[in-house]
Amino acid sequence: MIDRRSLLRTGGTVALGAFGLATCACSPTAGAQNPSPTTASAGATSGVIRVELQRTEAPFTGFEIIQTRFEIPVGQASGRHSHDGGKEVGYIIQGDVLMEFDDRPPLRLKSGDPFLIPTGVVHNARNVGTVQTMMLSTYCIDASKPLVTPH
């Protein structure tokens, strides 16, 4: 079993392994050298930020791998959105999340839980806990499409 500290130390290799990309040859300069917070997608509530940790070309043409840390304050939500270019493989580093979907029942997640959001599925991550939620998400995205599409 892997704990949060180990996951962070490995730089998300576990998440990349879920894509079958753990053996991807990434350049040492790939990714954000000094990651800085950015406002999350349109529709996100106050204080929600996405920090891009790294970005590199995928080992197959036309795709890229993007890894982010997503932070949601207590009582706030990500806003309804989808990832139309590819799947999201995620891990709850801290907090309690209610992942709401348009086409299926909600999913309750807590610290240490992994999750997978299929391509194009509209969802909203709502912090239903007592601490700021932090999620590590890795995407394998069609490079011609945006990372996030607000709904």
Active-site positions read 13
Distance CA 72, CA 88 (A): 17
Q: What angle do CA 144, 90, 55 make, to 5 degrees?
A: 40
Q: What is the enclosing helix (H) or strand (E) of 66?
A: strand 63-72
φ and ψ of 69, to 5 deg = -110, 125
Distances (CA, A) of 109 to 115, 135, 136, 149: 8, 11, 13, 23
